[in-house]
Amino acid sequence: MKTIKGPGLFLAQFAGDVAPFNSFASITKWAADCGYKGVQVPTWDSRLIDLKKAATSKTYCDELAGIASDNGVEITELSTHLQGQLVATHPAYDEVFDGFAVPEVRGNPKARQQWAVEQVKLALTASKNLGLDAMASFSGALAWPFVYPWPQRPAGLVETAFDELAKRWKPILDHAEDCGVDICYEIHPGEDLHDGITFEMFLERTGNHARANMLYDPSHYVLQCLDYLDNVDIYKDRIRMFHVKDAEFNPTGRQGVYGGYQGWVNRAGRFRSLGDGQVDFGAVFSKMAANDFAGWAVVEWECCLKHPEDGAREGAEFVKHHIIRVTEKAFDDFADSGTDEAANRRLLGI
C-alpha cells in the first residue's frame, strides 16, 4: 500500500488580480502558509504560468518548480479543464464557452477547437518538462444537450457523438503517451464523460488507451446520486487523480437533481466546504489507501456559503486529518508462528 500525498490545492478558484493571488510566487507562498504541500496549476491563467514557455523551455519549468519549492510546496499537476472543454463543444454552447479561448479564435468554432487541441498538447509537454506524470482535463461534450431523452434520441446519435469524441482525443492521448503523462478526465456533469458508463464508452472507442484515465471527485457523484465508494473499487486501475471536494443533496417536494434553475444557494444539490457536506471522506480515503492510490489529495474548494480563504485553510487541515499513513506490517505480526511449508502440510493433514 501507498500513503496518499497531500494536502494539495487547486489554484483555479483562488487566482485573481489582487495580492497574494496574482502571481505564482505569492500564491504558492499563501498556499504553503495555509498548510498545503502541493499546488495544482490552471494552465489557462497567465498570471500563474506561461504555458507555451513551459512547453518549450525546461529551464523555465525548473525555475517555476524552484519558486514553488522555495515557498514550501511542489507542483502536483497541471490542469487543462477549460481547454479540454473546447476540444468538443456542441454548437448550443458556442457563445457561452467562447470566453474560455483567446480572442483571436472566438466566434470561429473550428479555429477554437484547433487552438484547444494545441493547448492541451502544450500542457502535456509542459507536464513532461516539470517531471509530472498526470494532467487534469475535461472531455468536452457533443451529446450533453441530449442527456435527457425527450424527444426520443434518434438511433445512433450517442454512438456517433462518442465516436467523434474519441476521434478528437486519440491524437492527444497518443501525444500523452509520448510524454509519459496520463490525461485524467474529471468525471463531471456537463461533460460527455459524466459517469462510469460514459467513461467506459469513451475508453472502448480509444482502444482502452493507457493514458485515458480518471480524476475522481466524489462531490459530482453525490449530486448524481451515484455510489461514489463503489466507483473507487470499480475504477481503481484508472483513477490517477483525486479532487477532495464536498457536496450535499437535499431533495424536497419542489426540486431534485435538476435544481429548478436555481442558484447554488437554493439548489437541492450544492457544493460545500470540506466537512460541511455529505461525503464520507473517512471511507473515501480508506478506499484510496487500500487500492494503492499513489497520487495527491488535492482540495478543489467550491462552496456556496463559506468564504474561500476560510475554506482553504480548513481544507488543508481536513485533508491532513484524513490521509492514512499506511502500515508496513500486519497488526497481528506479533503472533506470527513462523511456520514453513512442511508445517503447513502437517497442519492440513496432507
Residue 75 · residue 127 · CB < 8 Å: no
CA distance linking residue 44 with residue 67, whole number of Å: 19
Higher pLDDT, 347 or 14: 14
Q: Is the dihedral of CA 79, 220, 228, 170 positive or negative?
A: negative
Cis ω for the linkage preceding 91 (within 30 of 0): no
CA distance linking residue 212 with residue 182, whole number of Å: 6
Task: Give which of 231, 230, 273 is closest to 248, Cα–Cα.
Answer: 273
User: In terms of DSSP H, where are the helices of the chain?
Assistant: 24-34, 51-56, 58-70, 81-85, 94-97, 109-129, 157-179, 196-205, 218-222, 228-234, 281-290, 308-322, 341-348
The x, y and z cell numbers of residue 336, run together, are 506470527
CA distance linking residue 40 with residue 37, whole number of Å: 11
Name 164's Cβ contacts closer than 8 Å, sequence gap at least 6: 88, 142
Place of cell 478528437: 168
- Domains contained in the chain, CATH given: 5-348 (3.20.20.150)
Place of cell 500563474: 48
Q: pTM to 2 decimals?
A: 0.95
Residue 308 · residue 274 · CB < 8 Å: no
- pLDDT value at residue 334: 59
Mean pLDDT score of the chain: 96
Residue-wise pLDDT tens digits, 139-193: 999 999 999 999 999 999 999 999 999 999 999 999 999 999 999 999 999 999 9
What confidence category does residue 331 fall into, taking pLDDT thresholds of 50, 70 and 90?
low
Name 258's Cβ contacts closer than 8 Å, sequence gap at least 6: none
Task: Give which of 216, 222, 230 is closest to 276, Cα–Cα.
Answer: 222
CA distance linking residue 253 with residue 349, whole number of Å: 65
Q: Which of 134-143, 319-328, 330-339 has the highest mean pLDDT?
A: 134-143
User: In terms of DSSP H, where are the helices of 180-263?
Assistant: 196-205, 218-222, 228-234
Place of cell 467523434: 164
The x, y and z cell numbers of residue 251, run together, are 431533495
- pLDDT value at residue 66: 98
Cis ω for the linkage preceding 308 (within 30 of 0): no
CA distance linking residue 87 with residue 101, whole number of Å: 11
Task: Give which of 16, 55, 58, 15 is closest to 39, Cα–Cα.
Answer: 15
Q: Is the pLDDT of residue 67 over 90?
A: yes
Please list the residues that pair with 271 across neighbouring strands.
Answer: 247
Place of cell 473499487: 233
Q: What is the mean pLDDT of residues 219-227?
A: 98
